[in-house]
Structure 1
Amino acid sequence: MEQNYDHDSVQELLAWAKETLSNKSYPDGKFQINKATTVLDCASFLSSMIQMISRNWENPTFYPTIDQLREFRTKITEMH
């Protein structure tokens, strides 16, 4: 799947992250995103991702950060 970094795609991802954070619909405790990435606190992870991506989404340096949040969303969605 091709990843888009346009305004609408990123805003949709941020809206999902904000809703997930406010609804507390994320796992408690540690959460394994992939073989190399474990989130220790999902609320803190979502909060920091929202802040970082909101301010820097147009900078290609932050595309991996956007991808990481997308991967997190995919894993969370698979659980439900």
Structure 2
Amino acid sequence: MAEEHKYDHDSVQELLTWAKETLKNQAYPQGEFLINKATKVLDCASYLSSMIQMISRNWENPTFYPTVDQLREFKAKVEQ
């Protein structure tokens, strides 16, 4: 997936827009959600809210690129 390694403004804003819309529309799984064998989200609304806040403030810092990738992985799993 070529999109996975893009951290430019437009790519990150597109991801944040998706997260905000998903949160607003409550279009996320209810209850526990397994993203991968090492990551289980207990509350998707809280997860999305915290990811939006973290990425919105820090997306330009390469230290936070793994956080952007985590949200991308969540999005991919939800859309499956």
**What range describes the TM-score normalised by the shorter chain of this pair?**
over 0.9
Structure 1 residues 69-80: aligned runs within 5 Å = 69-78=71-80
Identical aligned residues as a percent: 77
**Match for residue 63 of structure 1?**
65
Runs (5+) with no aligned partner, structure 2: none
TM-score of the superposition, structure 2-length normalised?
A: 0.96
> Which amino acid in structure 2 is aligned with residue 47 of structure 1?
S
TM-score of the superposition, structure 1-length normalised?
A: 0.96
Give, in angstroms, the shift of residue 70 of structure 1: 0.1
**Match for residue 44 of structure 1?**
46
> Which amino acid in structure 1 is aligned with residue 61 of structure 2?
N
Aligned length: 78
**Match for residue 19 of structure 1?**
21
- The separation in 2 between residues aligned to 1:15 and 1:21, in whole angstroms, is 10
Give, in angstroms, the shift of residue 8 of structure 1: 0.1
- The separation in 1 between residues aligned to 2:65 and 2:32, in whole angstroms, is 24
**Match for residue 29 of structure 1?**
31
Runs (5+) with no aligned partner, structure 1: none
RMSD after superposition: 0.5
Q: Give the number of the structure with larger relative contact order, counting CA–CA contacts within 8 Å between residues 6 or more apart.
A: 2
Identify which of 4, 7, 10 aligns with 1:8: 10
